[in-house]
Amino acid sequence: MSSAVTAGSRALRLRLLTPVWVSDPKVWRTEVLAGLVVALALIPEAISFSIIAGVDPEVGLFASFTMAVVISVAGGRPAMISAATGAVALVIAPLTREHGLGYLTAAVVLAGVFQVVLGALGIARLTRFIPRSVMVGFVNALAILIFLAQVPEMRDVPWVVYPMMIGALLLMALFPKITTVVPAPLLSIVVLTVITVSAGIAVPAVGDKGTLPSSLPLPAVPDVPFALDTLTTIAPYALAIALVGLMESLMTAKLVDDITDTPSNKTRESIGQGIANIVTGFFGGMGGCAMIGQTMINVKVSGARTRLSTFLAGVFLMLLCVTLGPVVSDIPMAALVAVMIMVSFATFDWHSIAPKTLKRMPAGEIAVMVITVAVVVATDNLAIGVVVGSVTAMVIFARRVAHLAEVTSVTDPDGTSVVYQVTGELFFASSNDLVGQFNYVGDPDRIVIDLSAAHIWDASSVAALDAIETKYAQRGKAVEITGLNDPSAQLHDRLSGSLVTSH
């Protein structure tokens, strides 16, 4: 009896611990097809990013393979795609140009180490300070960048490319209304490839971007001198890769959280990005981070939700390159451009620019969103845009809160004392005006400052209160501060008397 109960409890525990997709054929189909679509879309982008970084196409393709496979296990956000990215390519291009591939891979390994350390220190918690207006601006800027990245593929091309792209877009828009068994992007890619190959139509294809690798990557130690000079050379680039990669990855994870209504482990994702970059560096890849465009294909367009799609995207990428290179090379770029245009339109938050929304939103929130979009598009760097947008939001918030601190006074009927009631948050922005709101000459000899409706946040506020006491003391008047809550009292007691310079 006891053995049967034990066996039953083990079976129940196994079912609870086993992911749902393991036993669900529909989920398997969705994840496998989503991984295939992402792999096909990754190939030309990885090649393009390799060109930006100044390395052979296989370096970007190897990076996409190892990043996707490793992050599918080590990452904290299921279904998010990590691979070689344009942001990382822009950072490492000068290093490659001046010192070569060995220094690039060494910088990628060091960047991974930085990310593991930063992740362990809890850098992911900083994402809570990113305002919603910055997040909306980030998403809209991303959509614009995805679209702008397709524009070069639409210039100086045969006229037949345009009807092919329109046909692919119509197919992706209409086919899901008939069935969702096969992802519309995959069908579009297959149909356009069959048409161009069978009809012998000469249009730009994936093979025009560069030669695909014919074998799997092998691990190797970066070919650099093990010396202090090497470390000082690669460290700045490695830190830049680590910060840009974490910023984009954490923002993408937050976006996927919102789309799927599921939480993710941001600390694990930060550390996982580091592990993936370390492995990528040792396999000769150019490093990377979360790819927002490919993640949107995987999550929003194809409906993937598990780590399986991410893992298969990397596996299919290598299999397609190594075993089906000639076939993949014939895929028309028009099909992939159409997929990315569809992703761009699906990613953009159209509700955020609707007239009704703009009328209701505070002007400051709209300004933050616009500034974030403008900076991202101008710099082609999502991380810079998020930082500038967040700082702008903080400044606007500080100005808004600074005016919320109010001072009212009540004089006793006998005229021997006056009580000042201070209301609001006291910090560097609001406390600057505090000193000027007291009547130092006309007040009686006893002044009470009641802070029961206020909170002291920083040293600037303590210094302002000290300055007020000093001004009254110079006129022979006594000041009593009352009503401090515990945190405010502790800060005031610790700093009072040590911040005002005597003259």
Residue 327 has pLDDT above 80, yes or no: yes
By the 8 A CB rule, do 212 and 325 touch?
yes
pLDDT at residue 500 tops 70: no
Instruction: Give the Cα-Cα-Cα angle 203, 343, 86 (nearest 5 degrees).
Output: 75
User: In 54-160, which residue ranges form alpha helices assigned H by DSSP?
Assistant: 57-74, 86-99, 101-120, 132-150
Average pLDDT over residues 96-112: 94
Query: What is the band of 212 on the pLDDT scale with cuts at 50, 70, 90?
Result: confident
pLDDT of residue 448: 93
Quote the CA–CA distance of 72 and 346 in Å, as a whole number.
Answer: 24
Q: Which of 369, 107, 347, 348 is nearest to 222 (CA)?
A: 107
Q: Answer with the residue of higher pLDDT: 4 or 332.
A: 332
For residues 440 and 475, the answer to whether their CB atoms sit within 8 Å is: yes
Residue 14 pLDDT greater than 50, yes or no: no
- In this predicted structure, which of 150-159, 407-416, 486-495 has the lowest mean pLDDT? 407-416
Handedness of CA 266, 272, 278, 280 (dihedral sign): negative
| Lowest mean pLDDT segment, chosen from 146-150, 151-155, 286-290, 374-378 | 146-150
Q: What is the mean pLDDT of residues 376-405?
A: 82
Asked whether the predicted pLDDT for residue 92 surpasses 70, the reply is yes
Alpha helix stretches (DSSP H) within 261-362: 266-282, 292-296, 307-323, 325-329, 333-347, 355-360
Percent above pLDDT 70 for the chain: 94
Tokens of 53: 């970084």
As given in the structure block, the two tokens for residue 391 are 């700082």
Average pLDDT over residues 214-220: 88
Q: In this structure, are strands 446-456 and 417-426 parallel, antiparallel, or unpaired?
A: parallel
Quote the tokens at residue 297.
Answer: 């294909």
Per-residue pLDDT of 22-45, as tens digits, reads 567 888 899 999 999 899 888 888
Under 8 Å CB-to-CB from 225, ≥6 apart: which residues? none
pLDDT-derived band at 126 (thresholds 50, 70, 90) equals: confident
Q: What is the dihedral of CA 124, 129, 133, 138, to 10 degrees?
A: -30
Quickly state the pLDDT bin for 129 (edges 50, 70, 90).
confident
- pLDDT category of residue 503 using cuts at 50, 70 and 90: very low
Length in residues, the chain? 503
> Can you tell me the distance from the alpha carbon of 139 to that of 150, in angstroms, rounded to the nearest whole number?
17
- Residue range 83-101: mean pLDDT, rounded: 87
| Mean pLDDT computed over every residue of the chain | 87
* Model confidence at 384: pLDDT above 90: no
Spatial contact of 46 and 64, defined as CB atoms under 8 Å apart: yes
User: Torsions phi, psi of 126, nearest 5?
Assistant: -70, -20
Give dist(CA 453, CA 463) in Å, integer: 19
Angle at 18 between CA 13 and CA 19, to 5 degrees: 145
Residue 451 has pLDDT above 90, yes or no: yes
In this prediction, residue 3 carries a pLDDT of: 57
Give the list of residues 6+ apart from residue 410 with CB closer than 8 angstroms, or none. 418, 419, 421
Residues 51, 57: Cα–Cα separation, whole Å: 7
Beta-sheet strand order (sheet of 406-411): 406-411, 417-426, 446-456, 478-482
Q: Is the pLDDT of residue 9 over 70?
A: no
Q: Can you read off the two tokens belonging to residue 209?
A: 């971007």
Q: Which residue has tokens 């009580």?
A: 419
Count the Cβ atoms, other than its own, within 10 Å of residue 80: 30
> What's the confidence (pLDDT) of residue 502?
47
CB 71 within 8 A of CB 249: no
More confident residue, 432 or 25: 25
Smallest CA-to-CA distance from 297 within 157, 429, 142 is with 142
Overall average pLDDT of the 306-316 stretch:
94
Of 72-81, 103-112, 267-276, 415-424, give the lowest mean pLDDT range. 415-424
